[in-house]
Chains A and B, each alone.
Chain A
């Protein structure tokens, strides 16, 4: 994609923004591309708004659909559209979650040629390996991230504005298995580790339960921290309705601990702090067995997304060393998957220890039936 904002498109963007914000005039300064855009194109922009309820200067981010237009490319099928992402951001922000404040969303291709939206820019450090760097466990941060997730999970299919998001059928777990198999394509019948991961998820799939708005990429690396405190939760492009425990399993997966495996909640602290924060605000108990199921799903989901990203490179659609190397991470993700399944198996053999750790033998048998 060429420059999104150039001499030709800038006046169109500015006049559209004036309408969208009820201003008399808006000027936009483009400050260049921001990182963290494996899926989306992120531009740092500053808006100078004259008149209307939002008059003033605002540091913002413009997030656009890569490749232009409004359609989600086949290799990015894990993502929702920019219009849906904006609706999710509004719902999250409205629920009191530390999501960047949504400003305006545009689905008119005449403006920039791609769907995009604008949100307020947050400050802080995002890179996972920097966030987890700390002599002491970051218990307060882990607990706050639990609270934030609990707040998000109070939104669901009845929340106004989320009507466009699909509702899983027949169940969140089986819908996930179906999606992962679809993303993996023929690899699901060529890679025995992935085949076993998919089968394991089918056999142990929990029945449908609560359905909530899940972030689906809630992890270290996708939030910003300043002076040890959370400033914003980012990267909402995978959001959707699912089992609430899916987000907890994803957050605690080994993949997002950035080497701090002794701190299972995102490399920050122990799970108990994260879970306690979650229970404070969600009005729901954490079910460790269900979290363990969703942690298996997390490895499969990450494996399938890595395959999709590698394919974006190999298909010639978007040549990129980073995407190519993500595709080569598959054995590493599979190692984590097998280790996790192996650990759950051990708790089957010694059910006494299974309380906080995994699926008991009885529960898995019931689920087979």
Chain B
């Protein structure tokens, strides 16, 4: 049985209440801490809502690099493990010098996609327009 409101819904109202009802009344000495809390709540919200979407974006970027089709059916732990396995493989290849002379353009594109996907959760204000 699904609990209602679920974790995301509960978190959403917590974050909103904190920002609108509490943040404006925090004394200056604690304001930095309060802003850090608001920031952290935002990260958690975005991660809960968008971790699979980010995973698919990273998988697509890695699949393109390896000339494979990304498996759109993956989700949750399986998706995360697939992305981790491909990233690990890429790390080993990079360290071995496989991109020292060729393929840097396609590698850079892949890495930029990965960073964009992770920024969408950590700090979407910095996403390219």
The interface of chain A, by Cβ under 8 A from chain B, is: 188-193, 195-196, 198-199, 203, 321-322, 324-325, 328-332, 334-335, 338, 341-342, 345, 368
The interface of chain B, by Cβ under 8 A from chain A, is: 33, 36-37, 39-40, 43, 84, 87-88, 90-92, 94-95, 97, 99-100, 104, 107-108, 110-112, 114-115, 118-119, 121-123, 126
On chain B, the residues within 8 Å of A188 by CB distance are 91, 95
Residue of A nearest to B32 (CB): A322
Known: A196-B94, A338-B112. A190 touches B40 (CB 8 A): no
A-B contact pairs, 18 of them (CB 8 A): A188-B95, A190-B88, A191-B87, A192-B114, A193-B111, A195-B91, A196-B94, A196-B107, A196-B111, A198-B95, A199-B94, A199-B97, A321-B33, A330-B122, A331-B123, A332-B119, A338-B108, A368-B100
On chain B, the residues within 8 Å of A198 by CB distance are 95
**Does the CB pair B37–A195 fall under 8 Å?**
no
User: CA A192 – CA B33 in complex, angstroms?
Assistant: 32
A326: min CB distance to chain B, Å:
10
On chain A, the residues within 8 Å of B84 by CB distance are 190
Instruction: Give the tally of cross-chain contacts (CB within 8 A).
Output: 77
User: CA A201 – CA B126 in complex, angstroms?
Assistant: 25
**Does the CB pair B100–A321 fall under 8 Å?**
no
> Which one, B97, B99, B104, B118, contacts A345 given CB within 8 A?
B104
On chain A, the residues within 8 Å of B118 by CB distance are 330-331, 334
On chain B, the residues within 8 Å of A328 by CB distance are 43, 122
Residue of B nearest to A332 (CB): B123
Secondary structure call for the B interface: helix
Residue of B nearest to A320 (CB): B36
**Does the CB pair B87–A190 fall under 8 Å?**
yes
> Which one, B39, B91, B111, contacts A189 given CB within 8 A?
B91
User: CA A328 – CA B126 in complex, angstroms?
Assistant: 14
**Does the CB pair A195–B100 fall under 8 Å?**
no
> Which one, B92, B99, B111, B122, contacts A338 given CB within 8 A?
B111
> Which one, B111, B112, B122, contacts A332 given CB within 8 A?
B122
User: CA A46 – CA B103 in complex, angstroms?
Assistant: 60
**Does the CB pair A329–B91 fall under 8 Å?**
no
User: CA A329 – CA B36 in complex, angstroms?
Assistant: 12
**Does the CB pair A325–B111 fall under 8 Å?**
no
A82: min CB distance to chain B, Å:
27
A232: min CB distance to chain B, Å:
23
A365: min CB distance to chain B, Å:
9
**Does the CB pair B94–A192 fall under 8 Å?**
yes
On chain A, the residues within 8 Å of B112 by CB distance are 338, 342
B100: min CB distance to chain A, Å:
6
**Does the CB pair A193–B115 fall under 8 Å?**
yes
On chain B, the residues within 8 Å of A321 by CB distance are 33, 36-37, 40
On chain B, the residues within 8 Å of A338 by CB distance are 108, 111-112, 115
**Does the CB pair B36–A322 fall under 8 Å?**
yes
**Does the CB pair A329–B122 fall under 8 Å?**
yes
User: CA A322 – CA B99 in complex, angstroms?
Assistant: 36
On chain B, the residues within 8 Å of A331 by CB distance are 115, 118-119, 121-123
